[in-house]
Copies of this chain bind each other. A is one copy, B any other.
Amino acid sequence: MDWQRIRDDFPILQQEVNGHPLIYLDSAASSQKPRSVIQALTHYYERDNANVHRALHALSMRATDGFEAARRTVARFLSAASENEIIFTRGTTEGVNLIANAWGSANLKPGDVILSTGMEHHSDLVPWQLAAQRTGATLKHIPVLDDGTLDMEAFEKLLTPEVKLLALVHISNSLGTINPVREMCAKAKALGATTFVDAAQSAGHIPLSVEDIGCDFLAFSGHKICAPTGIGVLYGRMAVLENMPPWHGGGEMILTVTLDSCTYKAPPARFEAGTPDIAGAIGLAAAIDYLEAIGLSNIEQHGLQLASHALEKLGSIEGLRILGPKTGPRGSLVSFHCDFAHPHDIVEWANTYGIAMRGGHHCTQPLMKRFKVPGTTRASFYLYNTTHEIDRLAEVLESARKFFS
């Protein structure tokens, strides 16, 4: 795989920032888009755009075909049993809220436990806090160990028959930890719990199969896997989806409506009220096609290589402490604390040299408290990054250390 050539597919990378070639190390926040995805949007708007469903004119049929083909592409991408298990959302956050509301309202009651972890993104934490408030269920968290992995002993203890839902992140956006979601879902399912995996950081980075993971729900965001902003996916096992009441009401999710009542369509339509982000779904399919042409296993390897290189290079900088696992597989990001400067000062410094990173709590405030840091600086990688860029980052961090110390 010629990773250098991949960079040519991304128009945005061909620019200078503050007089330096852009080094984009913020893909965990949002990824860049290859030309083929941008063209899929342009093509759609210049040739096929119309509203979907109940389509009898040519444009509307083309738009509907493109939209539903995108659903099939996503189903294949996740190894879902059927495309009807694919619900289009705005992103991971909306997916979690959908489950917390539609599934939660029908399945949670006082005494029930929602089991989550201490390393969840706010988007997989706040919806459960709200669901707990509404339903009287209790929210519990599997603690995080010093090495950034989950306390599996504590998990075994917390996993009681009261646990109705296990909600956990696949790859932590703040630590890079890869959680053993398959084993954990299997244990939870054995006790009759429903399972949700937040795949915001794993989708598009490693091969992903809901069949293999064995979860009931899984969510990810298109914008993090080379697709447009505004589109995401919630996968739900049909046996679970079928028994869920709707959440958003509106056009396209109903069968028949009178002024007083209505009946609902089967999933996925039941959960897709209103005009969807048609172009976004088509762009998402283009992104998946792009990633699959390169190969998810190749992308995974490349990502791991970048992370290992960063661990080594950044790990040797004085006063810089990397959070999360130091050995073994990890997500393609490093999150670190510098004793010589605050994350914002580091990010500002790096930006002056054309390097884009993110500093702060990364929407994981409880985790930052757990590690007693006000925030971290995070360099996150994707298929278009190179070890050379990481070398340059190390140089710039070294210069920051000298300047701020």
Measured CB to CB, the residues of A under 8 A from B are: 11-12, 15, 17-18, 22, 24, 26, 29-30, 32-33, 37-38, 41-42, 45-51, 54, 56-60, 90-94, 96-97, 100, 118, 121-123, 125-127, 129-130, 139, 141, 221, 223, 228-231, 246-254, 256-262, 273-280, 344, 347-348, 350-351, 354-360, 363, 365-366, 369
A50 / chain B contacts, CB cutoff of 8 Å: 24, 26, 29-30, 356
Q: A97-B273, A250-B93 are in contact. Are A365 and B256 (CB under 8 A)?
A: yes
A279 / chain B contacts, CB cutoff of 8 Å: 228-230
Complex CA–CA separation, A277 to B17 (angstroms): 24
Q: A54-B358, A57-B351 are in contact. Are A258 and B26 (CB under 8 A)?
A: no
Count the copies.
2
B248 lies within 8 A of A97 (CB): yes
Which of B38, B47, B123, B231 lies in contact with A12, CB distance below 8 A? Answer: B47
Report the minimum CB–CB distance from A42 to chain B (whole Å). Answer: 6
- Identity of the chain B residue whose Cβ is nearest the Cβ of A350 in the assembled complex: B57
B47 lies within 8 A of A15 (CB): yes
Q: A56-B347, A126-B250 are in contact. Are A51 and B38 (CB under 8 A)?
A: no
Q: A93-B274, A123-B273, A230-B277 are in contact. Are A249 and B130 (CB under 8 A)?
A: yes
Report the minimum CB–CB distance from A404 to chain B (whole Å). Answer: 15
- Identity of the chain B residue whose Cβ is nearest the Cβ of A96 in the assembled complex: B250
A348 / chain B contacts, CB cutoff of 8 Å: 56
Complex CA–CA separation, A56 to B349 (angstroms): 10
B26 lies within 8 A of A278 (CB): no
Complex CA–CA separation, A15 to B58 (angstroms): 12
B59 lies within 8 A of A249 (CB): no
- Identity of the chain B residue whose Cβ is nearest the Cβ of A62 in the assembled complex: B17
Complex CA–CA separation, A101 to B315 (angstroms): 48
A344 lies within 8 A of B259 (CB): no
**Which of A92, A247, A277, A355 is the most central at the interface, judged by chain B CB atoms within 10 Å of its CB?**
A277
The secondary-structure label for the interface of chain A is mixed
A246 / chain B contacts, CB cutoff of 8 Å: 130
Q: A33-B45, A38-B46 are in contact. Are A90 and B90 (CB under 8 A)?
A: yes
Complex CA–CA separation, A276 to B90 (angstroms): 8
Complex CA–CA separation, A199 to B123 (angstroms): 30
A93 / chain B contacts, CB cutoff of 8 Å: 248, 250-251, 273-275
A141 lies within 8 A of B274 (CB): no
A18 lies within 8 A of B126 (CB): no
A22 / chain B contacts, CB cutoff of 8 Å: 58-59
B18 lies within 8 A of A58 (CB): yes
What would be 9 A-B contacts, judged by CB atoms less than 8 Å apart? A12-B45, A12-B47, A26-B50, A38-B45, A57-B351, A57-B357, A96-B249, A126-B262, A258-B369
- Identity of the chain B residue whose Cβ is nearest the Cβ of A143 in the assembled complex: B259
A26 / chain B contacts, CB cutoff of 8 Å: 50-51, 57, 59-60
B45 lies within 8 A of A125 (CB): no
A360 lies within 8 A of B54 (CB): yes
Report the minimum CB–CB distance from A330 to chain B (whole Å). Answer: 21
Complex CA–CA separation, A274 to B96 (angstroms): 10
A126 lies within 8 A of B57 (CB): no
Report the minimum CB–CB distance from A185 to chain B (whole Å). Answer: 22
A356 / chain B contacts, CB cutoff of 8 Å: 50, 57-60
Query: A24-B59, A93-B248, A280-B280 given. 4 additional CB < 8 A pairs?
Result: A29-B51, A41-B45, A123-B274, A125-B249
